[in-house]
Structure 1
C-alpha cells in the first residue's frame, strides 16, 4: 500500500471510530484512547491528522452533515413528499447524526460553533431551493420553514421514547408507514405547501 493510500485508510478509520465514540459519549466524554483503539492505531495519529480531539469532532460533524446533504439534496425540482420522507428515513436509519448534533449543542455555545460559514452555506442553499419550490421569497420565514421541516422529520428519531409514550405504550401504537406518512403531511402543512 502506498503512503497516500495508507494515510487515507488511517484517516478513514479514525473518522469512523470517532463517529461511534462521539455519538455514544459526546465530545467531553469521548476518549482519544478508545478512538485510537477502535481504529487500531496509535492515539498520536489523531493529533497528527486532526490536531486535537475538538477538531476531530468537528471533522466528524462536517462529514455527517455532508453525507446528509448529499444523500438528500433539496433543489427546485425536488418532490417535497420524497424529500421529507427521505429526511425521515435517513434519521431513522442513522440516529448517530442526531446524537452528534445534540452532543455538539451541549458542548458549544451558538457563538462558538466551528466551521459555521461552510455549514451555513449548505442550509442557505436549501433555503433558496425551498423558496423556489414553494413559490416564496428566500427570507427568514422560509428559513424557519426549512428548520421546522427538518425538525418534524427528525424528531421521532431524536426522542423515540417520547413517541412511545405519546402513542400509548411500550411499543409505538403506530406502524412505521403510518408515522412516515403523517410526518410528510405535517411537514408540508408546516411550510404551507
Structure 2
C-alpha cells in the first residue's frame, strides 16, 4: 500500500532528526529517544517505520547519498571532472556525509554494511561515468582515480582536528578556506592530468 502524504512527512522528519543524531553520536552512540524528541514523533513510530536503529541508519545513508548525487553528480566530461573536485569540497563543507561515513566505517569496519549491493551499484555508476570523463576503458583504474579525488576533497572534513593543527586559526577564516580549496583543486587537476597523459 502506498504511503500517505502524512506518512511521508513523518518519515522525512524522522530521517532528518536521525541524520543529525547519527552525525553527532555515531550509530553506537545515537539514541532512539533523542531522535524521537528531535523529530517530535513518537518513539514507537521509529520502530514501526524502520524496525531498528541499524535500519534507520541505513535509510539515512541512502538519503544523504541521494542528496549528494543530485547536488554533485559525477561528471562525464573532462571540464566537468576538473570542476568536480572543488564541488565535492564545497559539498562536504556544508553536509554531514563525511561524518556519517566515518562513523559507519568505525562501526562496521570490514563487515558488510546494510544495503551493500545498492552502495556498490552507486559506485559502479560513478566509475563508469568517470571512465567516460577520463577516456579510459578500465573501471578499476577509474575507481582508483575516484578514491584519490574524493579523498583529496574530503580529508580535511573527515579529520578536522588535523586541518586545525596544520593550518592554525587562519585556516578557519574564509580566506583560509579559499586557499585550501584552491590548493586541493590544483592537486586534483594534477591527478587528472597524469591520468590523461597516461602516467597513472
With normalisation by structure 2, the TM-score equals: 0.88
Output aligned runs, 1:1-193, within 5 Å: 4-77=4-77, 79-94=80-95, 96-167=96-167, 169-172=168-171, 175-191=176-192, 192=194, 193=196
Cα distance between partner residues in 2 of 1:148 and 1:171 = 26
Cα distance between partner residues in 2 of 1:26 and 1:164 = 22
Change (3 A) 1:138 1:125: farther
Contact 1:69 / 1:122 at 8 angstroms: preserved in 2?
no
Question: How far has the Cα of 1:31 moved from its partner?
Answer: 0.5
RMSD of aligned C-alpha atoms?
1.7
Cα distance between partner residues in 2 of 1:109 and 1:163 = 24
Cα distance between partner residues in 1 of 2:156 and 2:82 = 17
Contact 1:18 / 1:60 at 8 angstroms: preserved in 2?
yes
Contact 2:75 / 2:81 at 8 angstroms: preserved in 1?
no
Question: How far has the Cα of 1:122 moved from its partner?
Answer: 1.4
Change (3 A) 1:110 1:70: farther
Cα distance between partner residues in 2 of 1:106 and 1:160 = 16
Question: How far has the Cα of 1:171 moved from its partner?
Answer: 3.1
Q: Which runs of 5+ in 2 are unaligned?
A: none
Which whole-Å deviations, capped at 9, do the CAs of 1:9-36 have from their partners, x for residues lacking one?
1111100110000000011110000001
Contact 1:127 / 1:138 at 8 angstroms: preserved in 2?
no
Other structure's SS at 2:106 match: helix
Q: Which runs of 5+ in 1 are unaligned?
A: none
Residues 173-182 or 56-65, more deviating: 173-182
Contact 2:170 / 2:176 at 8 angstroms: preserved in 1?
no
Aligned residues: 189
Cα distance between partner residues in 2 of 1:30 and 1:186 = 37
